[in-house]
């Protein structure tokens, strides 16, 4: 995967560190599962819209900040996927009909 895209999990960990938190305390503050936050921080789960809205409220950001980070990361992973690259070579472009 390209090294230019920071994972949403590492981004979350930066915020946790910046605000001197841990996953347990943050989960209580934003009223969500501690397991969900831990899995996100380990890049084993995605940031959902519900989590993005909660993080945005707590950290005074926008939900789009978190969702775009997730989308950028997902796209970077997809473009680095050799199976997908091979499949894309066999897909032609749509042609408009009159």
Q: Quick check: 34 and 27 in contact, CB under 8 A? A: yes
Can you give the pLDDT at residue 4? Answer: 47
Q: Quick check: 76 and 84 in contact, CB under 8 A? A: no
- Distance between CA atoms of 5 and 71, rounded to whole angstroms? 10
Residues 6+ apart with CB under 8 A from 37: 12, 23, 26, 27, 51
The pTM of this model reads 0.82
Per residue in 37-95, pLDDT (tens digit) is 999 999 999 999 999 999 999 999 999 999 999 999 999 988 888 888 777 787 888 89
Can you give the pLDDT at residue 83? Answer: 83
- Distance between CA atoms of 2 and 96, rounded to whole angstroms? 34
- Distance between CA atoms of 63 and 38, rounded to whole angstroms? 19
């Amino acid at each position: 995967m390209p090294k230019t895209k920071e994972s949403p999990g590492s981004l979350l960990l930066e915020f946790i560190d910046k605000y001197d938190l841990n996953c347990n305390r943050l989960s209580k503050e934003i009223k969500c599962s501690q397991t969900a936050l831990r899995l996100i921080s380990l890049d084993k789960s995605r940031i959902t819209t519900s989590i993005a809205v909660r993080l945005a409220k707590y950290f005074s950001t926008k939900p789009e900040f978190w969702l775009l980070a997730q989308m950028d990361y997902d796209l970077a992973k997809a473009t680095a996927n050799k199976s997908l690259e091979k499949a894309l070579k066999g897909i032609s472009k749509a042609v408009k009909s009159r």
